[in-house]
Chain A
Amino acid sequence: MASLDTTMAQGPAPDRRWRLVRLLFLAFLGLWLLFTLFPFYFMAITAFKSAAETNLTVPTFWPQAWFPSNFAGVFAEPTNFDALVDSFVIATGNTLLALFLGTLAGYAFARFPRQAGGENLAFWILSNRMFPPVAVLVPMFFLFDNTPWGTDSALSLIILYLVFNLPLATWLMMVFFRDAPRELEEAAYLDGWTPFQAFVRVTLPLVLPGMISVAMLCWIFAWNEYLFANLFVGTEVRTYTIVIPTFTHGSQTLWNLQMAFSLIAMIPPVTLFILLRRYMVRGLSLGVVKG
């Protein structure tokens, strides 16, 4: 505070004025927090309400009576649980594939830019993400309809989501690999390791935080995707996102069950995030560790 006092010496009451600014800022942050958290709060309490209470003209902000049985009610339809499993399989399968291919491609672009087609090709891959996906929704459907596994399968979505996740994974991994000093690989060659061994033993551990962040981003995208899933799957395979609208029957929506199901669907990504947070923050904010 001493330095503030001297720089603000001309003002009438510098200390008080700064305190006011600070207070206003905190108030703004508080409001923002409320604004952000309220939907989650409302979702959580709605999940415990009775169906009747969810349809009141004046909404209640605290359940009049608690119905934890809503959570069991969600799974009265056993295929709803299968949908969570399908979503998990699709998100995980897609993430592993995107990460595997993206890591190899990113490494190629970072280390052998000329042989791999150069900066322009790398950017073209990323630019695929800028294309509005709705525009190719129907063509994609017919394209996948002609594959042996058809549209209504986990494999179709696992492959389709690569369109979104592979460019992201490739580009980000390229950036992480660029930050990993090449000299360390060269030192490994001189130790007697082959290029592949050097890649696995030296470079990969360095970009691991980055890889985990990329995995997280890919997984969450695939887990929450609705547009393509809604058109592609539904009979053999169902993702949880296309189950959520099914709680609307005719003119009535079972908000309590829908919210209970949404709450359950949040558990896997939140758990993953908490488990991997330590590595992820490092990956996103710092790039990789410097040699």
Chain B
Amino acid sequence: MKKQYLALIILGGFLLATGFINRNDYYFNVLNILILNGLVVIGLSLLMGYAGQVSLGHAAFYGLGAYTSGILTAKYGLSPLAALLAAQGVTLIAALLIGIPALRLKGHYLAMATLGFGIIVYVVFKELISLTGGPSGLVGIPPLQVAGFTFLESKQYYFLFVGVLLVSLLLALHLAHSPFGRALLALHDSEAATMALGYDTGRLKLIVFLLSAALAGLAGSLYAHFAMFISPMSFTFIHSVKFVTMVVVGGVASLWGALLGAVVLSLLPEVLTVFEDYDVLIFGTILVVIMIFLPEGLFKGLGNLFLKHKKT
């Protein structure tokens, strides 16, 4: 765990230094989106890597957070902080509704159920026009305001997001390395064995699922205030798949790996714009190649390569 703290401090230092050095709002915006992806991915990594469950509907939780925050502030004039808390409530209730029945089943039924859930939520975003603004989106979301301070610039959001990310990561690391986390890992390997050790596996899985949904909802709320405009296009099935892809490309087995995946897959499209219209082809190829040659993800794969190199 000490090593983890050290890594966390290094990451925090690096992010803060970046924030102070950088003067370009474009980079801040790219990093802001990256950090929000990172938040979702931390939760998803706990769910996938530790509880061995896949969710194909996390964009829906992200969207529920964003839309609840957006609607309550833009249409009902609630303060952003109160709306954010309400959004957490909505996300958790939705996660409970889908998680309780789905997690009782064996196999990958959570993946199937969340897939369907994601599509239903997307349809609701699109069709509940009087509330959500429909396919053309929800306008008029105010910027975030906390204790009288209004976040206006990308740089201010950046420091806020970094803070939220570090705290979430700290909590997630704690969880992963606690007896609870070890129970989860055991769950990943053998559900029956974990049950035999006296754990209520159903509850373990449900707690992690709720946690990951809450993190996605939180990221969504923050996104709504940062972008001040949301539309259903940002919360599609494709986005859910993108989150899962980030976790797997980085490495299912660790939180750091998942974060690395978020970094790589968020930055790659920005870098690839150099290739103009060909960027999709290159993106697809890179994804396939990484997975063929580093099937356990970038984090572990690169680590192994590094170790090998050191030995020779």
Do A and B associate with each other? no
